[in-house]
Amino acid sequence: AEHRLPPFLIPPLGTERTQTGTMRSRSQLPLLAAAAALLAALGPAALPSHEALAFAKKSKFGKPKVLYRYGEYELKYLPKGPGKGPTSHVPRLKIMKIPPKAMSFSGLSGSVESDLDRQLLTFPITTHNTAGLQLRFPRFNGALKISATDPPASLDVDEAAKAVEANYDQIVSGVGEFGVQLRSNGEWGASFSRQVEDLGLLRTTLNSHFDWSADLERTYPAVVKGVVPTVNYGATQDGMRVKAKFDRSFADKGVHTSYTMQNLAGKYAPADLMHEARAIASLRGGRLTATSSYDRRYSKVPVRGSLAYAAKLRAAALEASVDFDRLRLKASARGVQVTAAIGTKASLDDAKAGIRGRPAELELKVGKVSASAKLREGKPRVRLDVGL
């Protein structure tokens, strides 16, 4: 009598197709041949009896069970195999890739903001509170973010309305990434992005006010003297927009430069164009970044510039930057981060507000807990953030 080889003896990896269409491992062909000869010699006695099959179904071995896991794979016990023949009831062991979880916790955050006075003591009634929850769906390549805002009761009725917002992103293989945003006040938004072959990255958006946008970003091969251009072609309900960026690196000198020029949608006059030039130089133990920009929307002077330096000193990291409006310092070491910023000039109406009429900010972050304070007109504004 002819007997087919039980499925648990058929290896899933490193196989070759036989004349009958089944798959066999080249390295285990002698073992399979010996097993087939043994089954042929034993005949019907090699198959499990009806009593044994009934006992297997009633016992604890009648359900699939994971015996061992290593990395992305698991060894699983299967009480039966595919098909309806006698050999389908033979228990077997199978190495399988661990399937992604249907849902996993990604993060939880919350914040409290208030003036530094008695309002802070009457939390949460008189403070501005926010909370956020992030969930991931690895099996479906999706992510969900839910956030809620609870303003202080001291505000007007229109301003004190509570709000809940949900954002869901879904990646569809071969199609692209979809995004949906919903708010409790009835507003909504939708987005779609996809990497189009031979064209570039396509991004589109639409919201409940029927404001829409469509952008195609494409990076071209290097042109003159190693300059790499990246152009973004876009359109909105207000008109067309274009953003062109040119990058060039000097690897031997450790310098990277870029120049960006763009226009706002519907504004095409040369005076309305926005420009930005940036140079990044790698120094011993640090990095120096210089940026200059031109934008007519800036107040008083349409030109701005900034200079930033970042360095690593053993277990600590230091950053310092200065621009048209403020001076900023940041130091971090072993999970602790301290940041301080102060205005470059006394711009507050009250000379005693802030620090001698200059707006200032302070922040202390330990792990995923941070506390910050803003010093401006009136009482200091404090904020506490917690993340898990």
From residue 339, how far is each of 242, 313, 364 by CA, in Å?
36, 17, 7
358 or 37: which leads in pLDDT: 358
134 vs 168: CA distance, rounded Å = 10
Which position has the token pair 């009725």? 157
23 or 266: which leads in pLDDT: 266
**Angle CA 195–197–199, to nearest 5:** 85
First-to-final CA distance of the chain: 65
pLDDT digits (tens, 9 = 90+) for 166-197: 999 999 999 999 999 999 999 999 999 999 99
**Nearest residue to 205 via CA among 243, 244, 178:** 178
**Residue 8 above 50 pLDDT?**
no
pLDDT digits (tens, 9 = 90+) for 113-132: 999 888 788 888 889 999 99
CB contact set of 101 (below 8 Å; sequence gap of 6+): 138, 139
pLDDT digits (tens, 9 = 90+) for 48-58: 555 555 554 55
Which two structure tokens, joined as six digits, stand for 7? 């499925």
Per mean pLDDT, which of 23-37, 85-99, 322-336 is the most reliable? 322-336
Residue type, 29: L
**Angle CA 367–368–373, to nearest 5:** 100
Average pLDDT over residues 136-164: 84
Which of these ranges, 290-294, 310-314, 338-342, has the smallest mean pLDDT?
310-314
pLDDT digits (tens, 9 = 90+) for 284-303: 889 999 999 999 999 888 99
- In whole numbers, what is the pLDDT of the chain averaged over residues? 85
188 vs 191: CA distance, rounded Å = 11
377 vs 360: CA distance, rounded Å = 11
CB contact set of 119 (below 8 Å; sequence gap of 6+): 126, 127, 152, 154
53 vs 51: CA distance, rounded Å = 5
91 or 192: which leads in pLDDT: 192
Percentage, residues of the chain above pLDDT 90: 56
**Residue 153 above 60 pLDDT?**
yes
Q: Three-state SS string across 46-111, please?
A: HCCCHHHHHHHHHCHHHCCEEEEEECCEEEEEECCCCCCCHHHHCCEEEEEECCCCCCEEEEEEEE
pLDDT of res. 378: 86
